[in-house]
Amino acid sequence: MASSPKTSSPKTSASKTSASTTSAPTSSATTSSASSFRQRPWVRWGAPLLLVAGLAVLPLVMTEGANDTLARIGVFAVAVLGLNVVMGYTGQVSLGQIFFLGLGAYVTAYGVQSGWNIVLVFVLTCLIPAVAGLVVALAAARLGGLAIAMVTIALPIVGVPLAKRLSDFTGGSQGLSARFVEAPEGSGLYDDQWQLYLVLVIGGIVFLMTSLLVRGKYGRAFAIVKGNENVASSMGISPYRYKVLAFTIASLIGGVSGFLYMVVVQYTSPETMSFGHSIELLVAMVIGGAGSIVGSLLGGAFYVIVPDVTNAIDPSLTALLQGALLLAVLFVLPGGLVSLPRALMRRLRRSPAGRGSAAPPTTPSSTPGSGTAAEQSETERQGHA
Amino acid sequence: MGKFVQLVVDGLSTGSVYAALALAIVLVHQATGLINFAQGGMAVLSAYAVWWLTNRGLPLVAAILVAIVLSVVFGALVERWLMRRFERGDPDTAVVVTIGLLTLITGFAGWLWTYNNQQFPSLFPLDTVSFLGVSVSVRSLGTTAVIVVAMLLLQGLFVGTKLGLALRAVAINPQSAAFCGLPVGRLLMVGWGLAAALGAVAAVLVAPQLTLTPGMLDNALVYALAAVILGGLTSPIGVVIAAWIIGILENLAAVYVPFIGFDLKVAVPFILIFVVLIVRPQGLFGRKTVVRV
């Protein structure tokens, strides 16, 4: 706020930066027992190996329906991950992520139908959405604040009639279908197993690269842009440039998720990128956990499973339920589902200690309205760490 | 020539609807510093209230007045029980809350009244009047007139009354306003209530044309946000002028630019935004905000 007194401002900004730099040691100190367990070499190397081995076996033993559901979860987890890069990590609300998924799906379908090499198709599926995202971000990020949200809301709303209009490329309202993923001869795999393997491998690589990105130099720059743009520019980090970069990466990941969408669903229409789906993607991201890799996976699962469940009960309830769940999560658990274990631990640890005095009714991270700015930034850091 | 004037008048009337929605967004933004993406959804709810009341046999005008009162109450309640908690926190979280509210309202309306299109009674007859050899529809003229009157009333409230003075004080500096003894919380509720009322007027005027569905104003929200960006968040007059420009341009483009046509005219404000953001990021009429570190 521009109205904050001048004297207190440098203090808040200083404490914000210190909070961001010291957040790693404090969090490891509070969970020292857990982290020392995690630091042991056989856990560090064994756990990922076990995970990979489990994922390699899973497609072989599950039913076809379960394979399909898991593959769709993978597709949308990648899309949510892209949204997380721009929104969870960089703090720029984007309402247009589904547009890039749709664009990627159309590029894939068109390329396959034209008989192009599949590697070329994949490269184009990454490049074209990334360029589109770059162009949008170059304009939208020029206006600070919420302009990115206000511009990107138009993407799905313009995208649907545009896809219908460009029927030479998109097949109009009928959409495009492309079957190009068949299990190779001699592998003995069924198509659904092969599809799931493809999603696991490509999605796994995207997740790995993104988690490296957000932990490294660029991730720290994104976090500072999110925390305080003025601090960022005073440290020589251009908020404009990093917002554009984050949005472009998000669009690229959206394009990859579009490719995976075609691998699994094999059909796309203008409905793929409708406004409602774009909102659902954002709901899934917030409920899974903003600014979290695991949260993206949970978000993908939410995006796929909740409509399946509500459709079984009453299809007209889906939107109502999603809105109610989103608001409930924002009220009770602002960090999303991924912060649930930590919030529970904190409450468990506090309840014996706070028995003498009046126990606070909620966890600190769920009361963003109270406290000074410095305290707020710290709780925010903890919530997203 | 006659067609051109007709298009301009029709554009002015749709532009007025966007302007009302955009003004509601600016009103909320000035009071609380956030963009309410649920403004259109709240307005649709008001339109459903009118539809429900008229189906129960209430005359249209009475139903509209009742719905406007209900909208004020609903807007104030949303501010008090939903947004208040997020106002001083991270603005991005608050925006996500409004998106959640939009989803909730759309889902609620769809669940209660289905997603099918409902016929909505028109406030104005479907006649046309001849004016200097050009026939224009009564509905377009009436829509424009009603919204201009609503804006003038709002302007009068803000400039001429003590309540308006207090609202402006809260918008400029909530802390100092609180130190002066103004009930900031209640004034914010009034601001949200007024915005909801303005949205209700817009929804009632546009519903006969679009037919009533839960997602009726999703497109209009995009136009309104475009008007807000073009006009600049700090300039209510700029926003209204931008909304009119958008309304007229999209109507003309739909007819005279073959590639755009009626289905793609929603792209017109998008292209406009692009050009303006590149050339003049603070909006056509906005001031550059300078924030102290």
The counts of H helices and E strands in chain B are 12, 2
Mean pLDDT across the stretch B225-251?
88
Question: Is residue A322, in this structure, part of any structural domain at all?
Answer: no
Same domain for A99 and A246, yes or no, is yes
Interface of A with B in 145-184 (CB under 8 A): 145-147, 149-151, 153-154, 157-158, 161-162, 164-165
Same domain for A206 and A345, yes or no, is no
Question: Is residue A289, in this structure, part of any structural domain at all?
Answer: yes
Question: Is residue A57, in this structure, part of any structural domain at all?
Answer: no
Q: What are the start-end ranges of the H helices in A266-317?
A: 275-288, 293-313
Complete DSSP assignment for A215-250: HSHHHHHHHHHHH-HHHHHHTT--HHHHHHHHHHHH
Same domain for A289 and A337, yes or no, is no
Same domain for A229 and A378, yes or no, is no
Q: What is d(CA B127, CA B125) in angstroms, rounded to the nearest whole number? A: 5
Regions of chain A with pLDDT less than 70: 1-39, 352-385
Question: From the CA of A276, how many Å to the nearest CA of chain B?
Answer: 9
Q: What is d(CA A148, CA B67) in angstroms, rounded to the nearest whole number? A: 33
In A, minimum Cα distance to B281 occurs at: A143
In this predicted structure, what is the pLDDT of residue A29? 44
Residue with tokens 């404009």: A240
Same domain for A311 and A381, yes or no, is no
CA Rg value for chain A? 22
CA A106 to chain centre: 21
Residue B287: band (very low, low, confident or very high) from pLDDT cuts 50, 70, 90: low
In this predicted structure, what is the pLDDT of residue B274? 81
Same domain for A194 and A264, yes or no, is yes
Question: Is residue A320, in this structure, part of any structural domain at all?
Answer: no
CB contact under 8 A, A157 and B218: yes
CB contact under 8 A, B114 and A161: no
| B92 shares contact with chain A (CB less than 8 Å) | yes
Q: Which helix or strand (DSSP H or E) is residue A72 part of?
A: helix A64-83
Same domain for A107 and A211, yes or no, is yes
In this predicted structure, what is the pLDDT of residue A16? 41
Alpha carbons within 13 A on the beta-carbon side of A240: 8
Size of interface A-B (CB pairs under 8 A): 166
| A380 shares contact with chain B (CB less than 8 Å) | yes
Residue B98: CB atoms within 10 A of its CB come to 23
In A, minimum Cα distance to B232 occurs at: A143
Distances (CA, A) of A199 to A196, B53, B260, B273: 5, 52, 38, 37
Mean pLDDT across the stretch B248-274?
84
Are the C-beta atoms of residues A76 and A264 closer than 8 Å to each other?
A: no
pLDDT digits (tens, 9 = 90+) for B159-175: 889 998 998 888 888 88
In this predicted structure, what is the pLDDT of residue B282? 67
In this predicted structure, what is the pLDDT of residue B25? 92
Q: Where are the domains of chain B?
A: 2-216
Interface of B with A in 103-162 (CB under 8 A): 103-108, 110-111, 114-115
In this predicted structure, what is the pLDDT of residue B290? 57
Q: How many structural domains compose chain A? A: 2
Interface of B with A in 21-60 (CB under 8 A): 33-35, 37
CATH number (domain holding residue A199): 1.10.3470
In this predicted structure, what is the pLDDT of residue A57? 80
In this predicted structure, what is the pLDDT of residue B21? 94
Question: Is residue A32, in this structure, part of any structural domain at all?
Answer: no
Provide ipTM, 2 decimals.
0.87
In B, minimum Cα distance to A324 occurs at: B104
Long-range contacts of A63-66 (CB under 8 A, 24+ apart): A64/A190, A64/A192
| A139 shares contact with chain B (CB less than 8 Å) | yes
CA angle A83, A88, A92 (to 5 degrees): 80
**In B, which residues are within 8 Å of A150 by CB distance?**
35, 225-226, 228-229
Residue B281: band (very low, low, confident or very high) from pLDDT cuts 50, 70, 90: low
In 3D space, the residue among B138, B142, B121, B151 whose CA is nearest the CA of residue B50 turns out to be: B121
| A371 shares contact with chain B (CB less than 8 Å) | no
In B, minimum Cα distance to A153 occurs at: B222
In this predicted structure, what is the pLDDT of residue A43? 74
| A237 shares contact with chain B (CB less than 8 Å) | no
Question: Is residue A142, in this structure, part of any structural domain at all?
Answer: yes
| B173 shares contact with chain A (CB less than 8 Å) | yes
Residue B265: band (very low, low, confident or very high) from pLDDT cuts 50, 70, 90: confident
CB contact under 8 A, B93 and A330: yes
- Expressed as residue numbers, the domain containing A130 is 63-182+189-315
Same domain for A76 and A159, yes or no, is yes
Q: What is d(CA B92, CA A146) in angstroms, rounded to the nearest whole number? A: 8
Residue A7: CB atoms within 10 A of its CB come to 7
Same domain for A224 and A124, yes or no, is yes
Out of A315, A341, A370, a domain closes at: A315
Question: Is residue A310, in this structure, part of any structural domain at all?
Answer: yes
Question: Is residue A326, in this structure, part of any structural domain at all?
Answer: no
In this predicted structure, what is the pLDDT of residue A380? 40
Tokens representing B170?
């809260």
In this predicted structure, what is the pLDDT of residue B37? 93
In this predicted structure, what is the pLDDT of residue B288? 59
Q: Which residues are paired to A176 by β-bridges?
A: A268
pLDDT digits (tens, 9 = 90+) for B43-71: 999 999 999 999 999 999 999 999 999 99
